[in-house]
């Protein structure tokens, strides 16, 4: 949980400080020589998404520091939902292949969290 929180916070900060680098990591690098239209709201959306990532990352770190098991359990189905949405977005062509990494990260995180919770429950019995 803490590792995910630190990574989410870090990537959120990248999106706030260096939005073009964040876009390139996600597979949205602009074509060389192109200029954004005045009506392009990509950076506005990225700012909002990045701030949400910073907030969520901090929530994860604080939950890990306080060993808040209920929060850990709640993350499993929502991370699986995120895996499903991002993976389907790539499969259906709504998002570039770079988004598949986000889906895989979320899916593996959900599985790892579920396994850790199960292991701790069995260990406590």
Q: Which domain holds residue 77?
A: 68-125
Same domain, 55 and 97: no
Same domain, 4 and 63: yes
Same domain, 4 and 61: yes
Same domain, 21 and 52: yes
| 112 vs 110: CA distance, rounded Å | 6
Same domain, 117 and 78: yes
Confidence of residue 28 (pLDDT cuts 50, 70, 90): confident
Asked whether the beta carbons of 49 and 83 are under 8 A apart, the reply is no
Q: What is the pLDDT of residues 65-98, one digit of tens each?
A: 999 999 999 999 999 999 999 999 999 999 888 8
**Mean pLDDT, residues 32-49:** 85
Last residue of a domain, one of 67, 98, 113: 67
CA distances from 83 to 55, 80, 106, 119 (A): 20, 5, 5, 23
Same domain, 33 and 84: no
The answer to whether residue 29 scores a pLDDT higher than 80 is no
């Amino acid at each position: 949980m803490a590792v995910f929180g630190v990574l989410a916070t870090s990537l959120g900060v990248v999106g706030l400080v260096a939005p073009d680098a964040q876009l390139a990591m996600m597979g949205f690098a602009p074509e060389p020589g192109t200029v954004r239209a005045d009506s392009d709201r990509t950076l506005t959306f990225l700012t909002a998404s990045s701030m949400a990532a910073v907030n969520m990352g901090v929530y994860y770190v604080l939950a890990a520091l306080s060993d808040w098991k209920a929060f850990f359990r709640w993350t499993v189905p929502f991370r699986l939902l995120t895996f499903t949405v991002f993976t389907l977005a790539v499969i259906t062509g709504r998002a570039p292949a770079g988004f598949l990494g986000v889906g895989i990260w979320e899916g593996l995180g959900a599985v790892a969290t579920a396994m850790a919770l199960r292991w701790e429950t069995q260990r406590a019995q």
